[in-house]
Structure 1
Amino acid sequence: MGVRTKAGQGPVEDQDKERQETSAILPEEKEGKEGAARRNAAELPEFAGRWAGAVAGASGLALLLVSTRYGFQGDELYFLGAGQHLDWGYADQPVLLPLLARAIDALSGGSLFALRLLPALLTVAGVLVAALIAREFGGARRAQLLTAAAYGFAPAVLISGHALSTMAVDLFLWTLVNWLLVRWVRTREDRLLLWTGLATALALQGKYLIVGYWLVLAVAVFVVGPRELLRRKELWIGAAVSVVTSLPGLIWQARHDWPQLEMSKVLADEGILGGRAGFLPYLIVLSGGVFTVVLVYGLVRLLRSPELAPYRFLAWTFLGLTAVFLVTGGRPAYVVGAFAPLWAAGAVALGRGEGARWWRWVAAWPVVALTALVCVALSLPVYPVSQVTKTEQPDNNPMTAETLRWPHLIDAVEKAYKTLPADGRERAVVVTQYYEEAGAVDHLGADRGLPSAYSGHRGYWYFGAPSDSSGPVLYVGRDVAKLKPYFSSVKKAAKAAGGPGESFVDGVPVWVLDGRNKPWSEIWKDYGHLS
């Protein structure tokens, strides 16, 4: 009996073609998930770990070399103060950063270098994860290196990696979640979704912002796919883990009338960095000039490329987050965690020679290296103190000037403290207008014998009031009017010196308040303020 064939095609070729088509259509049924994952992994370019590691190392080295320049940031001093009052939650954040600050401070003996080692290491790890996202998109060595450079030297990443901050932790964990999701789309390994749940659970101990990311992402997945993601039980198990581990902090918030919600309104009303009008321009600054071009091109490719269609939800997640925070008055830094997939998509396209020929120069290594150096100069404390105000750095990183001022503030408090009689010094307390000042006095003033600090500002108010048996008050701040009615004597005793640049610490007066007419337990009830 003969075998029917098409012209020019033999029976063996016909069978081979049929097997190939069946394998392409039903890989999981024929091989199982593990076999499909192995086959998909074989199709990926080799991970340029050595080269990406070199870029990550360069970024980490830049951070470590300047890690002890200028001084502590205000939030770092607050974390150290909050670490001495550990609780399940705080007015402005969950427990992770105060816990980390206390542990690092205890182990290192108060080393600023040790405090900043963790964010530097998280930045290095984030560079490698970003390069892995480019690999998942099919990017070879060139694309992986461009992605690594964009992540490792973008101003947003350098600024967050310089100091212990909620952003440093958030940025790495968001990038990790993005990589896990991208990998899941390619492999359908559901255990990856469990890891996204664990990463989210950890992120929620540092900041609640990732909830917004997941809500926008869920909408994007429902609209453009892959909707199968929302049906995976492992995704919801991870979500349950995140909720359960967040319960202690949420209970704390509920018991204290949800100050975190009010804090969000306060931050929106502050209008930092130009408010809504400055949101998009500052977002461009944060993403880093030439690296901004890569990011925008990656956004376009994710939206339009058929090859990247399964990952289109990541582009819409970025756009959705940008729209939400733009409307609600959020800060540009809130969307930086969604940058890595965009950088990766843009780098992959440029690495393949896509795009207009006249602007492919953005992927040239001299351009990338020069951009990285400029970003370091604009973002990190590399200048002599006397030259800081002659650069653009204070505008790009407003906390730069602040870090220079704490010794001036402590000098002023010490000067006022020495005006007190000996018996008054033993019972004196420090009360500050802002939480950063209280953190500075608590951490930097201890070596000078200054008393403990209290503040009605944000999280510090929840740490409690001075003792009713305490004596005179050294009040640090311009707004003394709120405390004046409770004291018979109010006089200015000192003023913090200024310096290069502008900072809210410059010229801050230190007052001596005495003759208190009400117990602190009563005064403190109405003294708390978030703004």
Structure 2
Amino acid sequence: MIIDPLKARPASPGGLHALARWPVLTIAGVLALVHAVAGAFGDYWIDEVYMLAAGKYHPNWGYVDQPPLTPLLAAAMDFIAPDSMFALRLPAALATGGAVLLIALLARELGADRRAQTIAALAGATGLWSNLVGHWTAPYTFEPLLWTALLLPLVRWLRQHSEGVADDRLLLVFGVLLGLNLQVKFQVVLLCVALLVSALAVGPRAILTRPMLWAGTGLALLIASPTLIWQAVNGWPQLAMSSVVAQESPMLSGGRGGTAVNLVLYAGVLGTALVLGGLWLLLREPRLRPYRMFAVTTILLWVFLVATAGRPYYLIGMYGLPIATAVVGLQRRRQAKPPRWGWAAWPVYVLSVATAGMLVFAGAAINQSFSAALTKIDSGKISERIARDVSGAYLTLPAEQRARTAVIGDSYITGAMLDVGSAHHPLPEVFSPHRGYGYFGAPTDEIDTVVYYGRDVESLRPYFTDIRPAIPGDDLKGWIATGRTQPWAAIWPQLKSLS
């Protein structure tokens, strides 16, 4: 007789199946380990070096394009282990593995046995987008973990409410997690609006009458108040970023059509099948009525993100819930007609984990290739080369002139690379008029010389009498600009741009 190693154990006293501890932890642990190893190599990803530069050299309560928690985390890891890519990216790897564990816990809340929990974990571990970015310290890397964590107490409350024993303290936990989400990315506001609309449309409306829900919302606003105040004081620049995202959509995701497809396909092969199946079950199964609001929420978010040409990874945090629903549906079918060879699924499980590992390293290779293409440099650390070249141009100036010189990068990427590179190469204060860097401040009027690094120096010509090449290059290159003709208070607003 063949014994299925994932045969369901008796339910726990609370009515839930036992957690598939070792299979799930193994999948999550292997995934986190592979990401940690992959993250130890290569150069900074473009958003990652911006996070590090913002947190380390420009700490603040908020930023134009994201809340402050990820930059501060990047700065903290660099403080613990300076210049260590492994340390910088370790939180991202742990978050990627942690999201897999939470997806399995979501499945368990919905009634999944150990086998179904394992399948849910595998689906989470083989997601395409998460594997490509899972070793980068960027806000969107932490979003799947945080959204799934946010949904978990909500799902538990809904399950308990359907059983007549709901613990409203779970809604306070929801509020605390919402506040933490708001300190990482503001897209969670869209999730909350969609959840509210969905609860009103399909129920259960009883959750909206719970004082603890609104107390939790108050806690969330309190936790997020520093960055919300920063946004308000600075005119809510995050709202202006939505038009920038839409403008970049054709280049980054193929426009609205590409966004519509990738919003689903980024879940991976197994994940996409389970997401679509889970949404179907949520919409039609009477036993899933308490959770139907999540299907409506996912569809509303999909429609909104396609209509506004949002990033195709904005929906990743919602994948866990329909995946969990689908594996429970498969479990019920299996229980109605048990398969003869339950152990035969194990090769598929192993293959899925191996596929996840290959995707991680593919992501690392894409990271390196994209960065190399950015400046048409074939090898080596681009950030190091940029800082070295600009420092060399800066050091050609007489000492007296260097005291009146600043460095300006054409984009937030080059500005961040120069800021981070200044730890190893002599550079003056670094500025950039692009995106968040434009809000870090302008040079003082003592500065009359600029070493400019970027693609096009034409934006500086109206404000300087002499601009000469200083760093050769096919695309990105450097210039030295002298003879400033206007105060920086007049120049900087003309240079600042979010796009």
Does the Cα contact within 8 Å between 2:133 and 2:363 map onto a contact in 1?
no
The answer as to 2:84 corresponding to 1:111 is yes
Aligned counterpart in structure 2 of residue 294 of structure 1, from 274, 283, 289: 274
Letter in 1 for 2:52: L
State the Cα RMSD in Å.
2.7
For residues 415 and 229 of structure 1, the distance between their equivalents in structure 2, rounded to whole angstroms, comes to 62
Aligned counterpart in structure 1 of residue 27 of structure 2, from 36, 55, 63: 55
- 1:524 maps to which residue? 492
The structural deviation recorded for 1:368 is: 4.0
The structural deviation recorded for 1:429 is: 1.6
Relative distance call for 1:278 and 1:377 in structure 2 (3 A) is same
Aligned counterpart in structure 2 of residue 42 of structure 1, from 10, 14, 17: 14
Q: Deviations over 1:429-486 (max 9, x none)?
A: 2101101111101102330212231000111111111232224211111231111111
Does the Cα contact within 8 Å between 1:411 and 1:496 map onto a contact in 2?
no
Between the aligned residues of both structures, percent identity stands at 38
The structural deviation recorded for 1:382 is: 6.9
- 1:488 maps to which residue? 465
For residues 18 and 337 of structure 2, the distance between their equivalents in structure 1, rounded to whole angstroms, comes to 27
The structural deviation recorded for 1:245 is: 2.8
Secondary structure of 2:256's match? coil
Does the Cα contact within 8 Å between 1:276 and 1:326 map onto a contact in 2?
yes
Aligned counterpart in structure 2 of residue 405 of structure 1, from 382, 387, 402: 382
- 2:163 maps to which residue? none
Aligned counterpart in structure 2 of residue 343 of structure 1, from 313, 323, 335: 323
Relative distance call for 1:365 and 1:323 in structure 2 (3 A) is farther
The structural deviation recorded for 1:162 is: 0.9
The structural deviation recorded for 1:401 is: 5.4
The answer as to 2:61 corresponding to 1:88 is yes
Q: Deviations over 1:474-505 (max 9, x none)?
A: 111123111111111112222457xxxxxxxx
TM-score, normalization by structure 2? 0.88
Report 1:253-264 matches (<5 A): 253-264=231-242
Does the Cα contact within 8 Å between 1:88 and 1:249 map onto a contact in 2?
yes
Relative distance call for 1:168 and 1:495 in structure 2 (3 A) is same
Does the Cα contact within 8 Å between 1:288 and 1:375 map onto a contact in 2?
no
For residues 112 and 255 of structure 1, the distance between their equivalents in structure 2, rounded to whole angstroms, comes to 35
- 2:415 maps to which residue? 438
Does the Cα contact within 8 Å between 1:69 and 1:381 map onto a contact in 2?
no
Secondary structure of 1:333's match? coil
Does the Cα contact within 8 Å between 1:229 and 1:235 map onto a contact in 2?
yes
For residues 398 and 305 of structure 1, the distance between their equivalents in structure 2, rounded to whole angstroms, comes to 45
Does the Cα contact within 8 Å between 1:408 and 1:496 map onto a contact in 2?
no
Letter in 2 for 1:217: L
Relative distance call for 1:325 and 1:71 in structure 2 (3 A) is same
Does the Cα contact within 8 Å between 1:194 and 1:238 map onto a contact in 2?
yes
Secondary structure of 1:248's match? helix
Q: Deviations over 1:125-180 (max 9, x none)?
A: 22211111111111111110111111123122223421111112322111011111
The answer as to 2:293 corresponding to 1:313 is yes
The answer as to 2:359 corresponding to 1:366 is no
Q: Deviations over 1:486-527 (max 9, x none)?
A: 111112222457xxxxxxxxx211111112222323312322
Does the Cα contact within 8 Å between 2:31 and 2:356 map onto a contact in 1?
no
Relative distance call for 1:465 and 1:326 in structure 2 (3 A) is same
- 1:169 maps to which residue? 142
- 1:265 maps to which residue? 243
The answer as to 2:51 corresponding to 1:73 is no
Aligned counterpart in structure 2 of residue 232 of structure 1, from 193, 197, 210: 210
- 1:20 maps to which residue? none
Q: Deviations over 1:331-379 (max 9, x none)?
A: 1111111000111111222234469999x99x93433433443344344
Report the count of equivalent residues.
Answer: 473
The structural deviation recorded for 1:228 is: 1.1
Letter in 2 for 1:92: D
For residues 182 and 398 of structure 1, the distance between their equivalents in structure 2, rounded to whole angstroms, comes to 39
TM-score, normalization by structure 1? 0.83
- 1:152 maps to which residue? 125
For residues 369 and 314 of structure 1, the distance between their equivalents in structure 2, rounded to whole angstroms, comes to 30
Aligned counterpart in structure 1 of residue 193 of structure 2, from 215, 218, 225: 215
Higher mean displacement: 427-436 or 335-344: 427-436
Does the Cα contact within 8 Å between 1:394 and 1:401 map onto a contact in 2?
no
Q: Deviations over 1:38-65 (max 9, x none)?
A: x985321111112211111011011011
Higher alpha-carbon Rg: 1
Higher mean displacement: 422-431 or 231-240: 422-431
- Uncovered stretches (5+) of structure 2, i.e. residues with no partner: 1-10, 161-165, 375-379
Secondary structure of 2:286's match? coil
- Uncovered stretches (5+) of structure 1, i.e. residues with no partner: 1-38, 498-506
Secondary structure of 1:163's match? coil
Does the Cα contact within 8 Å between 1:431 and 1:475 map onto a contact in 2?
yes
- 1:31 maps to which residue? none
